[in-house]
Amino acid sequence: METIVRLAARGDGVTESGRYVAGAVPGDTVDGDVIAPGPYHIAPACSHFGVCGGCQLQHADDAVLADFVSGRILGALAGVGIVPKTVHPAHLSPPGARRRASFRLVRDGGGVRLGFNVEGSSAVVDLAECPVVRPALWDAARTLRDALAPRLRTGHAVGMTLTDTVSGFDVLLTNLALPASDVGALAALASQAGLARIATETAAGVEIALQLAEPAVRFDGVAVALPPGGFLQATADGEAALQAAVLEGVAGAGTVADLFCGAGTFALPLSARAKVFAADAARDAVAALSAAAKRAGRPVTTAHRDLFRQPLQPAELDKFDAVVLDPPRAGAKTQVETIARSKLKRVVHVSCNPNTFARDAKILHEAGFRLTELWPVGQFRWSVHVELAAVFLR
């Protein structure tokens, strides 16, 4: 008999001897293939847990979840020899908080399935419930499933991303063209279901099929028009936790560069206390931020710029008191390398990938930066997806 002492990166329990046990959490004991639940093992919240690939950790209580979120980041940093000076308690988003989710629709012999992929498979679980997302978002997803069902042939798979905005739900459909006759039929449904916009994405690009209202989000009270399929943090509370960390991390800075800025998640809150330069490769998001900042009279200048191919150079970076980075999962290696050669003294790095964050952190560390504060954030509840904000000073 062995005891589970930790969780691996993909959510499996790990025994003292290093054995991986699916479905176990720290405190459980295992005898062969039999798991004896320990004090931190709880009943899953969803009947699909164990089959649906959307969640891996519904059987773990909040203490284990918090340790997992922090441990994923600290383990990646330890691998490159970095220990943060201060680690704040992990923030966990509550159940039913996801305001953005990407489902799949697939027609088979039994009808149209709505859900996520089976763990480790391209098959789709036909969900009867989803306690991760906001209840209204789940209702809208099911309504859309029923409305789109007649348009799907057998074997046809469609991606359906829903985002809950202040104007209603923004819907992006992939691999599905909607002729004009279908759009008219969907108009009444959209009004009843609280849909603000339906857009489609094909090889030809993104096209707005129907818009009853312009989907908008608010950052620091400033309304920003959300482009179709535009990025938004998964939960409002997770977004607030990251924003608070960023604002604390740049406190006192008069000029800030917000790189990989998106539509202004951090740029607009920062602009209440500093002059902000914001850059991103997403042209529509940058345009939306620029327009919103202008309407609100916020001191934000923007640039449409691919920071992977054209990172800010040391002479450009030296103009700022601080830099905020919020790159995609690939990290910001090229931009971090130019930061390392600059005279910058303060960097706040937001990340959704502990491994690429650790790689970037090592570059900064070797350039004289020290990781002074770390905020772990688990806004993708019950999943192995982890986010963070960190402050580097030199």
Query: Could you list the active site residues?
Result: 352
Q: How far is CA 54 from the centre of its chain?
A: 14
d(CA 332, CA 24): 35
CA distance 344 to 337: 12
CA distance 266 to 272: 11
Q: What is the dihedral of CA 164, 298, 327, 307, to 10 degrees?
A: 130
For 146, residues 6+ apart whose C-beta sits below 8 A from its C-beta are: none
Q: Which one-letter amino acid corresponds to residue 184?
A: G
Q: What share of the chain is helix, strand, coil (3-state, %, to 5)?
A: 25, 30, 40
Q: Cα separation of 106 and 123, whole Å? A: 9
Specify whether the CB–CB gap between 132 and 100 falls below 8 A. Answer: no
CA distances from 228 to 77, 110, 200, 294, 316 (A): 36, 32, 9, 21, 32
Sheet strands side by side (includes 20-21): 20-21, 13-15, 2-7, 29-31, 34-36
* Total residues found in the chain within this entry: 394
- Cα–Cα distances (Å) from 216 to 66, 141, 386, in that order, read 32, 19, 26
Sign of the four-CA dihedral 91, 330, 226, 200? negative
